[in-house]
Amino acid sequence: MTETVATKPAPVRPAPRRLDPEDAQHALAEVHELLRRQEVVANLVHRQEEGDDKAGLVEQLVQRQHEAELKTLVDGLHPADIAFILESLPKDERQNVWRLVSPEHDADVLLEVEDWVRESLIEAMDRQDLVAATGNLDADELADLAPDLPPDVVAEVQKGLTEEERAQLLEALGYPEDSVGAIMDFEMVRVREDVTLEVVLRYLRRLHELPDHTDQIFVVDRQDKLQGILPLSTLLVSEPETDVREVMTTDYLSLAPLDSDADAAGAFERYDLVSAPVVDEQGRLIGRVTIAEVVDVIREDSQEQDLSRAGLQEEDIFAPVRMALRNRAPWLLFNLCTAATASFVASRFEDTVSHIVILAFLMSIVAGIGGNSGNQTMTMIIRALAVGRITGRNLWQLVKRELLVTFLVGLCGSVVAAGFAWGISHSVSIALVMMAAMICNMLVGASVGVLVPMLRARFGKDPAIGSSVLLTFATDSLGFFIFLGLATVFLL
């Protein structure tokens, strides 16, 4: 009876103390204060006469004291909190703080920071420091950093990998960015089904530590084909003389390396998973996905959707103005065109507005409410698309439901709006026009909120990109047209 285990002990790194988000915010405030003091001292010294050696010496001593305080503060933080601080600083200050981070924490921080910050940090490191920082990374961690590392650094680090690790690295780099293969972990415990639980326990005790988020052991045959899983809870409560095959579970969820990471995240959420095996087309176990990677996927997808709805891409909040302009200008220019279109529509009803001036104050309410209603619908549709709940069979039913809900909500809200219109105009006709226009524009917003994400998804595009801009264009232009058109027909 034999066992096989495909894992290696994780490199031993000093473990900084863990902080909660409030402590991280407090640490950021302390960093800001220390950096401010450095700047004040530098400005005072520079006001002294040039060539004043005493002033220069004082500056050096004070700067060293501030740097020592900063280093002590940063070294006591968890890598995730250091990453948070670096992301919250302008580039020059970010580089100053990054220079003080202990070398043994460099790799952990690089793995934690956002891509747009990681690039600037790597640029500030020389080749030797990069090799030292990434030399102890696992294959899956190195694969995460490889796209941002210089090719010669990746080649140098590969020389220190075993043949198995090198193969794992190449395999991880070969999968698409948004796939399960790109986020899977190669560290896991595997056993054969013909060994006893006592043998498994003896082996686990000999390990330096279990791979992170190990909640189950994978049972494989001699060809590494997955046969079942052995939950740690079952291992601990079962008799040691029991064979693995007798207590292993064959009812489990497995993922394929080319599956979407978003689909994997949905499965983890649906089934409350901590880890899941990844098997290839031949059924061989090649890796696993853990909740840690899934949480990152969910967070990144959420951030991308928030930015996409405004037509933006992820960028450094302290990036140069030129880069920010390149990111934001296209959709803002498009938004300007849509706003101009809405204004043009309103200008076509100049006579109506000139005769009934109160309409100029009311039409913004119609447009705004339609936009808010559409945003509610659009948010629900985009989320449903993201988790795969919309199919060809339930699409029409969903559309009818959203239109019905919007109509009923609009009916209730329009009564309030009509009351407001009557209160400031003392005209029942204006109140009724306000009521009808509001309901119609809310239905327009709901229709656009369904159609825009669905059409973009149908053609393989991100359903969230620029959706709010297109929605605003529709509800503003058609809202003005509907409201002023009805006013022209029924009030003049």
Interval 317-352: pLDDT, tens: 566 666 666 666 676 677 678 778 878 888 888 888
Interval 269-281: pLDDT, tens: 889 999 999 999 9
Q: What confidence score (pLDDT) does residue 340 get?
A: 80
Q: Residue 46 — pLDDT band, cuts 50, 70, 90? A: low
| Distance in angstroms (rounded) separating the CA atoms of residues 276 and 291 | 9
Interval 451-485: pLDDT, tens: 888 888 887 777 776 677 788 888 888 888 998 89
Please state which of the ranges 4-8, 230-234, 383-387 shows the lowest mean pLDDT: 4-8
Interval 96-151: pLDDT, tens: 899 888 888 898 899 888 887 888 898 888 888 888 888 888 888 888 888 888 88
Q: Residue 230 — pLDDT band, cuts 50, 70, 90? A: very high
Angle (deg, nearest 10), helices 428-458 and 395-425:
150
Please state which of the ranges 10-14, 106-110, 354-358, 406-410 shows the lowest mean pLDDT: 10-14
Over range 213-242, report the average pLDDT: 94
Q: Residue 179 — pLDDT band, cuts 50, 70, 90? A: very high
Per-chain mean pLDDT for the chain: 82
Strand partners, 249: 229
Q: What confidence score (pLDDT) does residue 8 get?
A: 39
Q: What confidence score (pLDDT) does residue 362 get?
A: 86
The residue whose two tokens read 């220019």 is: 333
Interval 416-437: pLDDT, tens: 988 988 988 888 999 999 999 9
Q: What confidence score (pLDDT) does residue 90 get?
A: 84
pLDDT at 2 over 60: no
Domains in the chain, ordered, with CATH?
Answer: 21-176 (1.25.60.10), 190-308 (3.10.580.10), 321-491 (1.10.357.20)
For residues 370 and 197, the model is more confident at 197
Q: Which residue, among 207, 137, 193, has the nearest Cα to 166 in the 3D structure?
A: 137
**Contact, 481 vs 341, CB < 8 A?**
no
In the chain, % of residues over pLDDT 70: 84
